[in-house]
Structure 1
Amino acid sequence: MPGAVPQPPARDQLPGRQRDAQPAARGLRAGRRRPAAQQQAVDEEVAAAVAAGLLAVADPGTAARAVVTLCTAIPQWYRPGGPTAPEELAEQYVGFALALLGRPPSTGLDPSRM
């Protein structure tokens, strides 16, 4: 028919790789909103902690982005059963994040002080 707009093939008519990638691609598109919300939450917490004198960092926004980036990169390299247990990794990363945010290690991880 002249002027008809071609329709994409149905999912079950796509070659294997394209068919298999579709749900993952939809998940990535849907998940794009979540990182922004996570970043905003961390931005707000860091700003509040700086205002309360619990953290000493010159640029809270940049520091908060660095902390989120530090954490979101873990799935790129971490493998279960590797040399570092998840609990140990979490403890190390909390230390990295607090150091990055200007909190002296001597204050520990007492949540009541956060």
Structure 2
Amino acid sequence: MDIILSNANPDPIYEQIAQQMRAQIVSGILKEGELLPSIRSLAKELRISVITTKRAYDELEREGYIQTIAAKGSYVATRSHEQLKEEYLRKIEEHMRSIHLLAQFIGLSEEELGMMYQLLREGES
């Protein structure tokens, strides 16, 4: 499993792990039912505390992305792709509401917002 941690990232380490694992599950890189590395082995691989890794796994389990079976390990939970997509669409809508309010506050037009989005996408290429 590819997880890249950054001290420059303002998010806590456990959240960086959880975000990247969520993305890999949603994109299908990690498949439903797939066995995940143990908390200890992932902590060792990433050179971080077992407590930090456990916190990431606990968060993912609470959100329904993974399930843990005692003495067997943690697995990618069985969720439909549509459920995951719907969850992400809700998050996008929340962010768009915030962007809309901020843009209104400073008088930014839809055209200017569109240009900002295009520049953002071009910068990622």
Which has the larger helix fraction? 1
The TM-score, its normalising length taken from structure 1, stands at 0.28
User: Structure 2 length normalisation: TM-score?
Assistant: 0.26
Larger radius of gyration: 1
Which structure has greater strand proportion? 2
